[in-house]
Amino acid sequence: MATVDLTAETFMTTIESNDIVLVDWWAAWCGPCRMFAPVFEKASEEHSDVVFGKVDTEAEQALAAQAQISSIPTLMIFRQGVLLFSQPGALPAAALEDIISQAKALDMEKVREEIAEQQNEINSYREMYYE
Q: Of residues 23, 30, 72, 100, which has the active-site annotation?
A: 30
Q: What share of the chain is helix, strand, coil (3-state, %, to 5)?
A: 50, 20, 30
Known catalytic residue: 30? yes
Residue 101, sorted as left (phi over 0), alpha (psi -120 to 50) or beta, turns out to be alpha
Known catalytic residue: 33? yes
Residue 13: count of CB within 10 angstroms of its CB: 10
**Is residue 80 a contact partner of residue 94, using CB atoms and an 8 Å limit?**
no
Burial class (CB in 10 A: 0-12, 13-18, 19+), 48: exposed
Q: Of residues 33, 67, 91, 100, which has the active-site annotation?
A: 33
- Catalytic site positions: 30, 33
